[in-house]
Chain A
Amino acid sequence: MKKTQRITGGIMAGATAFSVVLIIAVIIVMLVVIIIGGKDTVSWEFLTTFPEDGMTKGGILPAIWGTALLVIIMSVAAVPFGTITAIYLTEYARENSIISKTVRFAVKTLAMVPSIIFGLFGLGFFIKFVGGGMDDLFLGGQLKWAQPNILWASLTMALLTLPVIIVSVEESIRAVPRELREASLALGATKWQTILKIVLPGSRAGIMTGTILAVSRGAGEVAPILFTGAAYYLATLPQGLSDQFMSLGYHIYIMSTQSSNVDQTLPIQFATTLVLLMLTFVLNFVAVIIRARIRRNH
């Protein structure tokens, strides 16, 4: 082989390796910087107290509480619908029929829609249309539901995370061995019984992975809740579905861009970022492990 060829080969192969190293280095740098910036502030007290003195002191309890509430309501709404859509795609829809292709395309599009559009949709549909309609019908025009609150924010977030759940559940349903279904049907079980007793228990891990990934995504997204329910500061925890809430991501955004004393709150900002990052990181990590286990088993 020519020497020049060997050198170009080395350079080109080196460039590919360099790219990988670069990406991983950036990930590590981000992690390290945020951990170093936040580790001194994060404490049990920080996690369990309210912000004080115009958010320059104190903790982030309401933000954690709000984020938790958001992802719980979101999961309650998104997981059943996502699972059922996945069941339809794998068990009922004929492969390559126009209907199943359309559903699949819709799911993919939903995954691609910018998160801010979900925020707009939440404002236009949930708050103005549904909320306004509810107020007119039940409360005689009194303003209760036609304003940003945690319910609408959670439902908006549920739409955003629906594709995550569908994709994950579908993958695990496909991993349920065909023989199990055939055995169940051969024993006289109906299709619905087979799905309920064989397919769903077999794909429990997938449903769990999907939920975890959705929670991790929902906890981190800020754009959809910007004008559907997140609040700058609340002195109390949300009491009901029609209350506004604080969220970790929104807290970071507000404190780092809108607050008047950015430098003073810097440690709190880093600490909040660290909490959010660790939360999503741990959730993602668990999901990766469960997923790897599913793949190994089949």
Chain B
Amino acid sequence: MTTFENQEEDPLVPKENIPKTKKNEFVFTQESLKKQFRLSEFLSEKIITGIAFLSIAIIILIFLFVFKEALPIFIEKPERKTEIAAPAAPERYGEETPETTPSKPERYDGGGESQQPERYGIEVETIQTEEERATAFSQDSILSGNRGNSELGEDKATFKSLTGKSWMPVSDNPRYGMVPLIVGTIKITLLALLFAAPIAILAALFSAAFAPKWLREIIKPAIELLAGFPSVVIGFFALMVMASFFQDVFGYDTRLNAFVGGIAMALAAIPIIFTVTEDAMTSVPSTYSEASLALGATKWQTAFYVVLPAATPGIFAAVLLGIGRIFGETMIALMATGNAAMISANPFDSVRTLAATIGAEMAEVVFGDTHYSVLFLIGALLFVFTFILNSIAEFYVKGRLMRRFQGRTS
């Protein structure tokens, strides 16, 4: 549209034309060709621009408000920030921990010098009643040394307790260790990606390189229909049908586990990976594949050795977007993964993801509670993570893709 404005401003009308039009009542002069100021035009433009900024404002507001609700964790005791800065130095705990946990200072005696698991013996006694996963506990304390302080179970969330290995928010000694949640989320993301990425990419390759046009017109909308499935429907299907089916096939113990959840999430991620990959593949210049075919390569060689490598940045972006989708998926995680916060490498164990934790527990917390803030902190983490993923997909990958195609063809 800018071209019009330029034409209005520039005196494009040749000077010799002016005398001729003088017979008419309207005369084009330098003055009359200038852009006129109209209040309605001005207002409409400003209002539209203002509303367009709403989407930016929403992003900023989401950021602000999710963090605002999570903030009490850090604000309550500002000195914790120093812990965040240097959590690795063991000497510091001797000085700082009495401040952060003044209730039981004696347990830190000697903790700074020798990080031995024995000192947890005291705590195990006090919280033994609800320590049902005691095996995990003892492993943690041996493995993590100083970090094991988080297992002390105070109702204050510190950086240390947030990185603990036990998530037990609703108990007499609530513990907010996010490690099992993060491990569970990563595990299920990897599992889902393992199923979704190869299938979606191969399907996209078929659609872009092998399928005739009429078939592509069927495949694309069909797979996009899968994107239209509400996640609660996929979750329900996984919970009611897939879980029993896979249990019969593989014979594992827990009916709902990371494996079932991973496959269900793969179903949610396949359409987005497929669509973005397919777009990247069809935007590979046709000169590439024509040249390859002309050199005597077969159709499949062209597809796998020319089209696929040329579209790698796009595929990378597609996988990133798929990860973002799986990471934030709430309903499928709530319904099909079993929701037990434990750390294990076995794909047939139950997991609890970050998003599912928010969804399951937010309805029951007291507003302004530590638990409430911790859930918002998890939300903030999720938001920041997807924001970073999206930024990488957007700027880095798109830039590479453009440079690759433009740099080689021109």
Measured CA separation A23–B54 after assembly (Å) = 38
Task: Establish whether residues A112 and B61, one from each chain, have CB atoms under 8 Å apart when the complex forms.
Answer: no
Q: Which of A43-51, A81-89, A237-245 lies at the interface?
A: A81-89
Q: Shortest beta-carbon distance, A258 to chain B, in Å?
A: 10
C-alpha spacing A17/B329, complex, angstroms: 28
* Closest CB in chain B relative to A70 CB, distance in Å: 13
Q: A118-B62, A192-B45, A284-B228 are in contact. List 10 more A-B contacts (CB 8 A).
A: A10-B300, A20-B203, A23-B274, A27-B222, A81-B54, A85-B54, A115-B330, A117-B328, A256-B236, A273-B236
Known: A15-B202, A26-B267. A276 touches B382 (CB 8 A): no
Q: Check A85–B202 contact: CB distance below 8 A.
A: no
CB distance from B125 to the nearest CB of A (A): 36
Q: Is the CB of B299 within 8 A of A252?
A: no
B386, CB-defined interface residue at 8 Å: yes
| Segment at the B interface, from A56-64, A137-145, A220-228 | A220-228
- Contacting residues of chain B (1-33) with chain A, CB-CB under 8 angstroms: 1-2, 4
Q: Are B335 and A226 in contact (CB under 8 A)?
A: no
Q: Report B368-405 CB contacts with A as 1/0, cut-off 8 Å.
A: 00000001100100110011011000100000000000
Q: Which 4 A-B pairs have the closest CB atoms?
A: A114-B328, A220-B230, A88-B52, A16-B206
DSSP class of A's interface residues: helix, strand, loop or mixed?
helix
Taking the closest CB of chain B, its distance from the CB of A166, in whole angstroms, is 7
B168 within 8 A of A: no
Quick check: B203 and A34 within 8 Å, CB to CB? no
Say which residue of A22, A125, A190, A220 sits within 8 Å of B38 (CB atoms): A190
Q: Give Cα A252–Cα B335 distance, bound, in whole angstroms.
A: 10
Chain A nearest CB from B265 CB (Å) reads 12
A108 to B321 CA separation, bound complex (whole angstroms): 11
Q: A30-B229, A88-B49, A253-B232 are in contact. Are A103 and B56 (CB under 8 A)?
A: yes
| Complex Cα spacing A181 to B298, Å | 47
CA–CA, A221 and B237, complex, Å:
16
In the docked arrangement, what's the CA distance between A162 and B383, Å?
Answer: 18
| A93 at the binding interface (Cβ < 8 Å) | yes
Contact A33 to B241, CB < 8 A, known contacts A93-B52, A121-B66: yes
Does B363 sit at the interface, judged by CB under 8 A?
yes
A27 touches B359 (CB 8 A): no
Task: Confirm or deny: A261 has a beta carbon within 8 angstroms of a beta carbon on chain B.
Answer: no
In the assembled complex, which residues on chain B have CB atoms less than 8 Å from the CB atom of A114? Answer: 324, 327-330, 355, 382-383, 386
Q: Which of chain B's residues have a CB closer than 8 A to the CB of A106? A: 55-56, 58-59
Shortest CB–CB separation between residue B144 and chain A, in angstroms? 29
- Complex-state Cα separation, A214 to B241, whole angstroms: 28
Q: Chain A 174-201 against B: per-residue CB contact (8 Å), 1 yes, 0 no?
A: 0000000110010000111000000000
B304 CB within 8 Å of chain A: yes
A226 CB to nearest chain B CB (Å)? 6
Please give, as numbers and ranges, the residues of chain A lying within 8 Å of B51 by CB-CB distance: 81, 84-85, 88
Give min CB distance, B387 to chain A, whole Å.
6
Cβ–Cβ < 8 Å partners of B194 in chain A: none
Contacting residues, chain B, for A54 (C-beta < 8 A): none
| Contacting residues of chain A (79-123) with chain B, CB-CB under 8 angstroms | 81, 84-85, 87-89, 91-94, 102-103, 105-110, 112-121, 123
> Interface digits, B338-360 against A, CB 8 Å rule (1 contact, 0 not)?
00000000000000000100110
Q: Is B48 an interface residue (CB 8 A)?
A: yes
* Nearest CB of chain A from residue B379's CB, rounded to whole Å: 4
Q: Mark A3-42, 1 if CB is under 8 A from B, else 0.
A: 0010011101101111110111011001001100100000
Residues of A within 8 A of B211 (CB): 20
* Interface flag for B135 (CB, 8 Å): no
Residues of the A chain whose Cβ atoms lie less than 8 Å from the Cβ of B389: 112
**A223 partner residues in chain B, CB cutoff 8 A:** 231, 330-331, 355, 359
Contact residue among A17, A34, A109, A163 (Cβ-Cβ distance under 8 Å from B233):
A34
**Contacting pair A16 B331 (CB below 8 A):** no
Does A157 have its Cβ within 8 Å of any Cβ on chain B?
no
A191 with B41: CB separation less than 8 A = yes
CA distance A276 to B232 in the complex (A): 10
A117-B172 Cα distance, complex, nearest whole Å = 28
Question: Contact residues of B with A, CB < 8 Å?
Answer: 1-2, 4, 38, 40-41, 44-45, 48-49, 51-56, 58-59, 61-62, 65-66, 68-69, 198-200, 202-203, 205-207, 209-211, 219, 221-226, 228-237, 239-241, 267, 270, 274, 298-301, 303-304, 321, 324, 327-331, 334-335, 355, 358-359, 362-363, 367, 375-376, 379, 382-383, 386-387, 389-390, 394
A87 pairs with B330, CB closer than 8 A: no
Q: Does A288 contact B (CB under 8 A)?
A: yes
A218 to chain B, nearest CB (A): 10
Residues of B contacting A124 with CB < 8 Å?
65-66, 68-69, 376
Whether A269 is near chain B, meaning CB under 8 Å from some CB there, is yes
Contact A226 B359, CB 8 Å, known A113-B386, A114-B328, A252-B232: yes
Give the docked Cα–Cα distance between A188 and B58 (Å).
Answer: 37
Task: Report whether A33 and B237 are in contact in the complex, using a CB–CB cutoff of 8 Å.
Answer: yes
The reply to whether the CB of A277 lies closer than 8 angstroms to some CB of chain B is yes
Residues on B with C-beta less than 8 A from A108 are 390, 394
Q: Which of A27, A102, A116 has the most CB of B within 10 A?
A: A116
A contact residues around B328 at 8 Å (CB): 113-117
Task: Find chain B residues with CB under 8 A from A288 CB.
Answer: 221, 224-225
A135, chain B: closest CB distance, angstroms: 14
Contacting pair B300 A280 (CB below 8 A): no
Given contacts A27-B222, A190-B41, contact A116 B230 (CB under 8 A): no
Q: Are B199 and A23 in contact (CB under 8 A)?
A: yes
The reply to whether B331 and A253 contact each other, CB–CB distance below 8 Å, is yes
Q: When chains A and B are docked, how far (Å) is the Cα of A68 from the Cα of B209? A: 42
Residues of B within 8 A of A172 (CB): none
Most buried by A among B222, B240, B389: B240
Q: Please state if A253 and B235 are interface contacts (CB–CB under 8 Å).
A: yes
Are B1 and A91 neighbours in the complex by a CB distance under 8 Å?
yes
Does residue A216 face the partner (Cβ distance < 8 Å to B)? yes
B230's partner among A159, A191, A280 (CB-CB below 8 A) is A280
B363 cross-chain contacts in A, Cβ below 8 A: 226-227
**Chain B residue contacts of A235, Cβ below 8 A:** none
Q: Which of A23, A190, A280 has the most CB of B within 10 A?
A: A23
Q: Which residues on the A side are within 8 Å of B267 (C-beta)?
A: 26
B335's partner among A253, A281, A283 (CB-CB below 8 A) is A253
- How far is A84 from B54 in the complex, measured between Cα atoms in Å? 10
* Pairs A–B under 8 Å by Cβ, sample size 29: A9-B299, A12-B304, A15-B202, A16-B206, A18-B202, A19-B202, A20-B207, A20-B211, A22-B203, A26-B267, A84-B48, A92-B45, A110-B58, A112-B386, A113-B386, A114-B324, A114-B329, A116-B358, A118-B62, A119-B359, A159-B58, A221-B230, A222-B230, A249-B230, A253-B236, A253-B331, A253-B334, A273-B236, A277-B229
